[in-house]
Structure 1
Amino acid sequence: MASFLGTALAWLALAAPAHALPSFARQTGEECAACHIGAFGPQLTPHGMRFKLEGYSETDGKSGKIPLSAMLVASSGHSKADGNSTPSLQEASLFLGGRLADHLGAFVQATTDGHAQGKFSMDNVDVRYARTVDLKDGDLLLGLSLNNNPSVTDPLNTAPAWRFPYMSAELQETPSPLLAGGMEMQVGGANAYALWNNVYAELGLYRTLPSGFLNDVNVDLPDQKISGVAPYWRLAYLKDNHKDAWSVGLMGMNTKLVDRITGGPSDKYNDIGVDATYTYLGDRKNIFGLNAAYMHERQTLDASDDGAKVNLNRFDVSGSWHYDNTYGLTAGLFDTSGTGSENDSRGYILQADWTPWGKEGSWGAPWANVRLGVQYTGYTKLGNYDDKASDHNTLYGFIWTSF
């Protein structure tokens, strides 16, 4: 299975290194604000969720659309512990994003940063095939996805791959459940999903991608690999009332990791999470959003810590307000706790942003999109750092553009 996924992902990532927000807008003939809250990704409106679940293949019927886009992020940050960073290119990405054939679409990203000397690496990949079946009791949407990041397939912004903050400084590393980014880009998954009468269900199987392939796409090799396959599952209820929308859901993953080269005993990670969202859309002038998620992980470390048993908990909540898809304010809280004080980390994130381009009628639409933002991350607890947690508080500014 890993060999098959590796071949498929390599072809997509290398033969057509692309995806993106503007390419979706050009394909559908709609403004970016139709699918994204605040006229910029990744927060999705109910319409944007449907577009994603239907395989990125909706079109305005006009041919000749090229599904290519690019993204640039320039930023600068400051903290007492780390001092000032000079303004620099934080990230540059190329995307293949949109319809490939009837019912088939892709979101494929290749990324470089200011330290990579122009070398691009494989980023998020999500290639989908989806069909809708008419049933007596309502439409049944069925889909398949090949991807490289558990939860990148999710339509909600409570999922680890898409939660706030959507852009951030290079902060201090804090413990987090394995499902929350611990395997991204290093694994290949085949996922089946369905949406029927507001109920969304997904099941995926993941394996670590071959070392040769990861080297070819410039992804760092993991110290451990998945033993066998790791099942990922998702269940959620999504309700769209047009003026507002909400959801509640569950997700989980069971993973056994062994030494990448020698094999041997395994470290076991059992993750389970619960999440909820609420979005007030109204007349689309003032949009309010609330996202919350809690995840619990039980670890049995037979390979790396003589069978030690560790519990790890993570809670994230964020609330946002966007006015006229132009001005945005977001506040978030994060809290990680578990066995041992080194796992305790908590704090808050405040962000203000301005999105002058990205709406119908704005300059260069839908080719030009830009967001300018300032963000402050404050820590009240940060593991076992000898210095004060507040010394790592970070002020961060960014310019984020896609075209």
Structure 2
Amino acid sequence: GINILKLFILMIILAQAGVSKATPSFARQTGMSCTACHYSFPELTPFGRQFKLNAYTMTMMNTIESKQDSDKVTRLKLLSYLPLSAMVQTSFSSNAKAVEGTQNNSIAFPQQISMFYAGQITPHIGSFIQMTYDGQVFGMDNAEIRYANRTSLGSTSLLYGVTLNNNPTVQDVWNTTPAWGFPTASSDAANSPAKSTLIENLGMQVAGLGAYALIDNLLYGELTLYRSSPQGAANPADSTSVMTVRGVAPYWRVALQHAWGNNYAELGTFGIASNNFVNGISGPIDKFTDVGFDLQYEHTLNTGTLVLHSSLIRETEKRNSTINNFHFNSFKIDGNLYLKNGLGATMGYFNSSGTKDADVVESSTNKPNSNGFIYQIEYLPWYNTKFSIQYITYSMFDGSSTNYNGAGRNASDNNTLYLLAWFNF
């Protein structure tokens, strides 16, 4: 077998060239190190959350400006360079038992290559737009354009804005929701449980416009309305489309945050309600309601930061296409230690359960129940470069610990070792 500790030590030895400043477009725009916004990318610091809420517009770089003399209003404020960045991920995956019909011990080079247009557009508008090649296709990935401004209502401060994005929760500033939750990268060559929530699967299939506000740096609220906008399929939706949203799907987010001493905590709720045509743009409709609850806690140490994330999503699916309704719960929790020397360690637990349904899970039990642990060790020799080792273990997979597929495959056969090299520049 592969000795994980020896591999990790080897990566550290090979990478001991020192720690330097990252160069992606946000770092170039602000003149700040990546560590100003990230404990370990993409995990946001308090400053990183503020930078995102303020529409990615803070800049210390030279700009091209034009003002109208009559009203002294700035009519143009362009960055003196295009805010472009790139990302490369390459990985190795080894499953405890090869996935049926595939070769084990696979290398993805690349797993992903992404280009970003990310930075200030105007003094109050900024963007995070990602285009990705995943080894098979090239297309739109996570994308957001947002407007932000500040005002006060008496003694109350108000940060408010508008978001246009293509993935519910990609606009979120906490690392507890689906778009940015742990693990932020995983193997494409491993089996995954058959069922996950709707809100985890709408990325690049919808477009949403919404408004948000942060009151006194304490209470955050957002309402965004999503409509189908599929990538790689008919647009507008037609008779060939699948699971098209009828009308709009409202997404909500409410969160309370508070910092005291070396501590920070966030407690919130989020969710989406969507009526989807089963096929085409007419006919039977399935009604999905996803309600989520989340918690994030941070504690600053002399040597680094401890971060805890937890979330619970409860999904109810009411079907007009069949006589069955479906209920599903997804719980996740992870603890992270990020050290100032670039080392990091994470342990996570996940547990999903729900109604027995052969239409949802084709297994020996027809149940969506899965649970297990994820362990990860990472090292950032430079703030824009990450090497990580991840190991995922399953105690239950698609409703059973043994012979879950009726063909002799056990849950533990899907245990996966995943090595990742992640470069941002």
Q: Same fold (TM over 0.5)?
A: yes
Q: Distance in 1 between matches of 2:391 and 2:261?
A: 33
Which deviations, in whole Å up to 9, do the C-alpha atoms of 1:282-305 show, x marking residues without a partner?
44x3210000000101111212xx
Alignment match, 2:85: 69
Q: Which moved more, 1:170-179 or 1:90-99?
A: 170-179
Alignment equivalent of 2:124, drawn from 85, 103, 116:
103
Q: Is the 8 A contact 1:37 1:325 kept in 2?
A: no
For 1:347, which of 372, 379, 396 is the aligned residue? Answer: 372
Q: Report Cα offsets for 1:48-102 as digits up to 9, x if no partner.
A: 0000001010111533243100000000100133221135210000000110111
Indicate whether 1:203 and 2:205 are aligned.
Answer: no
RMSD over aligned Cα atoms: 1.9
Q: Is the 8 A contact 2:278 2:286 kept in 1?
A: no
Structure 1: segments with no counterpart, 5+ residues: 1-19, 359-368
Asked if 1:394 is matched to 2:416, the reply is yes
Consecutive unaligned residues in structure 2, runs of 5 or more: 1-21, 64-79, 99-103, 357-364, 399-403
Q: Secondary structure at the match of 1:240?
A: strand
Aligned with 1:315: secondary structure? strand
Aligned sequence identity (%): 38
Aligned-partner residue type, residue 81 of structure 1 = K
C-alpha distance in 2 between matches for 1:272 and 1:241 = 29
Structure 1 residue 260: Cα displacement: 4.6
Correspondence for 2:48:
48
Q: Deviations over 1:368-401 (max 9, x none)?
A: x210011000000001333110011000101000
Tell me if structure 1 keeps the 8 A contact 2:38–2:44.
Answer: yes
Alignment pair present for 1:190 and 2:209: yes
8 Å Cα contact 1:44/1:155 also seen in 2: yes
The 1-side partners of 2:241 and 2:264 are apart by 39
SS at match of 1:264: coil
SS at match of 1:308: coil
Q: Would the alpha carbon gap of residues 21 and 223 (structure 1) be closer, same or farther in structure 2, given more than 3 Å must change?
A: farther
- Is the counterpart of residue 382 in structure 1 residue 401 in structure 2? no
Q: Check the 8 A contact 2:241/2:281 in 1, yes or no.
A: no
Distance of 1:264 and 1:395 partners within structure 2: 44
The answer to whether the Cα contact below 8 Å between 1:254 and 1:270 also exists between their aligned partners in 2 is yes
Q: Distance in 2 between matches of 1:81 and 1:137?
A: 62
| 2:130 aligned partner, one-letter code | Q
Q: Which residue of 1 aligns with 2:32?
A: 30
Change in 2 beyond 3 A, CA 1:401/1:242: farther
CA distance in 2 between partners of 1:327 and 1:191 (Å): 38
Cα displacement string for residues 129-170 of structure 1 (whole angstroms, at most 9, x for unaligned residues): 000012322310011010000111110000111100011112
1:239 deviation in Å?
1.5
- SS at the partner of 1:168? coil
Amino acid in the other structure paired with 1:374:
I
The one of 275, 283, 291 equivalent to 1:256 is 275
Q: Distance in 2 between the 1:230 and 1:139 partners?
A: 30
**Higher relative contact order structure (alpha carbons within 8 Å, sequence separation ≥ 6):** 1
Task: Tell me the TM-score normalised to structure 1 length.
Answer: 0.86
The Cα of 1:265 is off from its aligned counterpart by 1.4
Does the Cα contact within 8 Å between 1:310 and 1:338 map onto a contact in 2?
A: yes
The Cα shift of 1:215 comes to 5.8
Residue equivalent to 2:289: 270
How far the C-alpha of 1:242 sits from its partner, in A, is: 6.1
Note the C-alpha offset of 1:177.
1.2
Query: CA 1:139–1:242 in structure 2 vs 1: closer, same or farther (change >3 Å)?
Result: farther
Output aligned runs, 1:101-250, within 5 Å.
Answer: 101-116=122-137, 120-170=138-188, 171-174=190-193, 175-180=195-200, 182-197=201-216, 198-209=218-229, 214=233, 223-241=242-260, 243-250=262-269
Separation in structure 2 between the aligned mates of residue 263 and residue 34 of structure 1, nearest angstrom? 49
What do the CA deviations read for 1:301-339 (whole angstroms, capped 9, x no partner)?
Answer: 212xx1311110000000010111500000101111000
Q: Secondary structure at the match of 2:204?
A: coil
For the 8 Å contact 2:31–2:61, the answer to whether it is kept is no
Partner residue of 1:317?
333
Larger Rg: 2
Residue number in structure 2 paired with 1:293: 311
Higher mean alpha-carbon deviation, 160-169 vs 261-270, is at: 261-270
Structure 2 distance, partners of 1:357, 1:242, is 29
User: Residues of 2 paired with 1:370 and 1:263: CA distance?
Assistant: 48
Contact 1:186 1:222 in 2 (8 A): no
